[in-house]
Amino acid sequence: MNKVILEIRAGTGGDEASIFAANLARMYQRFAESKGWKFTILDSSESGLGGVKTLVGQISAPQGENVYELLKQESGVHRVQRVPATERSGRVHTSTASVAIMPEVEEKEININPNDLDVSTFRSSGPGGQNVNKVETAVRILHRPSGIVVAVQSERSQLGNKERAMAAIRAKLYERQQQEEQAAMGKLRRDQIGSGDRSEKIRTYNFPDDRITDHRIGKKWHNIEKILEGDMEPIIKAFKKAENN
């Protein structure tokens, strides 16, 4: 699967959680760029101090490259322990952000009834929008049966944004379908490594000790700053090795 939808949401921790969410978004973007992949922000909600409350993006690669296979282990709750820039007493804070990696699926794999959709448009406020405050090119789609809502404003045309929004809805519905099927089988999304459940803290980024710990495979890495700059290969290789054992 050479295209995935990436969703990042700030969790507990206020502004620091939003900053951490932005750090994670940057990490995935830098990693994608290092692989020669395309990273597109579909929609984002920013907070103060350069953070993001939510970010929805698309990572796409040439045919034959499996983006989902390399990044699927990123789904779950990421936890950071560090002294925030706004902390005057030097106290370490703990914050979280959730990540979801969902494969984009073809229309034929997920059947969506057009009558189940509420489509609305609004004026883009996103980056690169030449049409900001002029034309309603941004699109918001509600899938009524599931309650899933997706907004996209990355494209200059309403049609382009609608196509991307539909792709994101299909990805979310596909993920939900997979969850339900695995739960019915008693697997609860478990495969070879962990569950990837979003309520499960999968990884801790400990800045005072310069250590990243993945709690599913019990692996530790140092050089946090380097990894957050997109050098994710050590993590990906560790998961490949664990899967093959």
Q: What is the pLDDT of residue 181?
A: 72
Q: How many degrees, rounded to 5, is the angle at CA 139 between CA 11 and CA 27?
A: 40
pLDDT: which is higher, 162 or 64: 162
* Ordered structural domains, the chain, with CATH: 3-104+191-244 (3.30.70.1660), 108-184 (3.30.160.20)
Contact 47, 10 (CB under 8 A): yes
pLDDT tens by residue, 184-209: 655 544 443 344 344 569 999 999 99
Contact 137, 64 (CB under 8 A): no
> Does residue 32 carry a pLDDT above 80?
yes
pLDDT tens by residue, 71-112: 999 999 999 999 987 778 889 999 999 999 998 887 777 889
Torsion of CA 14, 52, 21, 229, to 10 degrees: -130
Report d(CA 77, CA 97) in Å as an integer: 6
The helix (H) or strand (E) run that includes residue 182 is helix 158-184
> Does residue 242 carry a pLDDT above 80?
yes
Strand partners, 64: none
Sheet of strand 148-152: strand arrangement: 117-122, 138-143, 148-152
Q: What is the pLDDT of residue 182?
A: 67
Report d(CA 63, CA 167) in Å as an integer: 17
pLDDT: which is higher, 224 or 132: 224
pLDDT tens by residue, 121-168: 988 775 444 444 467 889 999 999 999 999 998 888 899 999 999 999
Mean of the per-residue pLDDT values of the chain: 86
Q: What is the pTM of this model?
A: 0.79
**Please, how many CA atoms are within 13 Å of residue 72, restricted to the half-sphere of its CB?**
18
| Both structure tokens of 218 | 């019990």
Reported confidence tier of residue 64, pLDDT bands at 50, 70, 90: confident
By C-alpha distance, which of 98, 4, 120 is closest to 53?
98
